[in-house]
């Protein structure tokens, strides 16, 4: 029976390059790996681009209300589905992936972020963590050299904590940070909840 895989990592963990090479490995052997990306904005459009310079056209740009089962019907024999930016899948679309692996016997390989800029799970990632047969962490590196698990949002060069989970058309950037740097640079300076806990500990010392 086919499996549902979720390969997650922070920004710059090499997810897009893995999407491109995974699809290439199948398609260069005459197989049919369909590349799917949830549509959240027009940035980047239907191209998957990696920071090291490779890019690939996606086969399906998936709208929020679209059904994956309907979308893949037109593609004949499918070897596997490769999904980029899987954090943006809806919960319902993840349920469809579970059905696709178990009843259509098509493997599904998802790549995406686990947490947003505040450290909360994305909807798609939360559902994938619950349902994936296999979870695998891709490693990104913090500026301090440790393993980065968080994505800090930067606007005009400053770390920020408040705002929408998904920004469309704004000029933001993200840094992959380890737990300690995320605490020191983002949560303790900007989150009242974390500040209170931190001050309590400081006061007791
Ligand atoms: Zn760090």
For the stretch 25-56, pLDDT in tens is: 999 999 999 999 999 865 567 888 887 788 88
Q: Residue 8: which CATH number?
A: 3.40.50.300
Which of 25-29, 78-82, 199-203 is predicted with the least confidence, judged by mean pLDDT? 199-203
Compute how many other C-beta atoms are within 10 angstroms of the C-beta atom of residue 124.
24
> Residue 164: what are its φ and ψ, rounded to 5°?
-70, 155
Tally of residues, the chain: 205
Distance between Cα 14 and ligand 1 center (Å):
18
pLDDT digits (tens, 9 = 90+) for 84-106: 999 999 999 999 999 999 999 99
Strand partners, 33: 80
Phi/psi region, residue 45 (left: phi>0; alpha: psi -120 to 50; beta: rest), is left
Query: What was the pLDDT predicted at 47?
Result: 85
> Residue 150: what are its φ and ψ, rounded to 5°?
-120, 160
Query: What was the pLDDT predicted at 172?
Result: 81
Residue 190: pLDDT over 60: yes
User: Which single residue is written with the structure tokens 């979870």?
Assistant: 135
**Percentage of the chain with pLDDT > 70?**
97
**Percentage of the chain with pLDDT > 90?**
80
In the structure, ligand 1 is a single-atom ion and the residues with CB under 5 Å from it are: 142, 144, 146, 178, 181
Structure token digits, residue 131? 């349902």
pLDDT interval class at 57 (50, 70, 90): very high
Query: What was the pLDDT predicted at 169?
Result: 66
In three-state secondary structure terms, 28 is coil
Distance between Cα 161 and ligand 1 center (Å):
17
- Of 71, 85, 164, 172, the catalytic one is 85
Count of structural domains within the chain: 1
pTM: 0.93
The continuous run of DSSP H or E covering 197 comes out as: helix 192-204
Measured in whole angstroms, the distance separating CA 189 from the mean position of its chain's CA atoms is 26
pLDDT digits (tens, 9 = 90+) for 105-160: 999 999 999 999 999 999 999 999 999 999 999 999 999 999 999 999 999 899 99
Distance between Cα 179 and ligand 1 center (Å):
7
Residue 107 and residue 101 in contact, taking contact as beta carbons nearer than 8 Å: yes
In three-state secondary structure terms, 84 is coil
Query: What was the pLDDT predicted at 50?
Result: 80
Distance between Cα 174 and ligand 1 center (Å):
14
Residue 60 and residue 72 in contact, taking contact as beta carbons nearer than 8 Å: yes
Distance between Cα 183 and ligand 1 center (Å):
9
71 is catalytic: no
Query: What was the pLDDT predicted at 171?
Result: 75
- Strand ranges (DSSP E) for 58-188? 60-62, 80-83, 108-112, 134-137, 140-141, 147-148, 150-155, 158-160, 172-177
Query: Domain range spanning residue 75?
Result: 4-204
- CA neighbours within 13 Å on the CB side: how many for 20? 15
Measured in whole angstroms, the distance separating CA 65 from the mean position of its chain's CA atoms is 19
Distance between Cα 178 and ligand 1 center (Å):
4
Structure token digits, residue 150? 């968080």
């Amino acid at each position: 029976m086919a499996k549902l895989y979720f390969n997650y990592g922070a920004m710059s963990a090499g997810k897009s390059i893995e999407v491109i090479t995974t699809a290439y490995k199948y398609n260069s052997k005459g197989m049919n790996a369909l590349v799917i990306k949830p549509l959240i904005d027009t940035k980047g459009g239907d191209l998957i681009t990696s920071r090291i310079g490779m890019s690939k056209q996606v086969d399906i740009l998936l709208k929020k209300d679209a059904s994956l089962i309907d979308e893949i019907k037109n593609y004949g024999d499918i070897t596997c589905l490769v999904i980029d930016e899987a954090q943006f899948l809806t919960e319902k679309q993840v349920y469809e992936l579970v059905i696709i692996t178990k009843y259509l016997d098509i493997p599904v390989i998802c790549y995406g972020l686990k947490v947003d800029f505040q450290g909360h799970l994305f909807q798609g990632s939360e559902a994938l963590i619950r349902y994936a047969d296999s979870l695998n962490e891709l490693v990104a590196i913090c500026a301090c050299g440790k393993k980065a698990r968080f994505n800090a949002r930067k606007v005009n060069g400053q770390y920020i904590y408040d705002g929408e989970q998904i920004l469309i058309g704004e000029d933001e950037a993200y840094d992959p940070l380890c737990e300690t740097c995320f605490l020191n640079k983002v949560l303790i300076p900007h989150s009242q909840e974390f500040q209170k806990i931190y001050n309590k500990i400081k006061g007791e010392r």
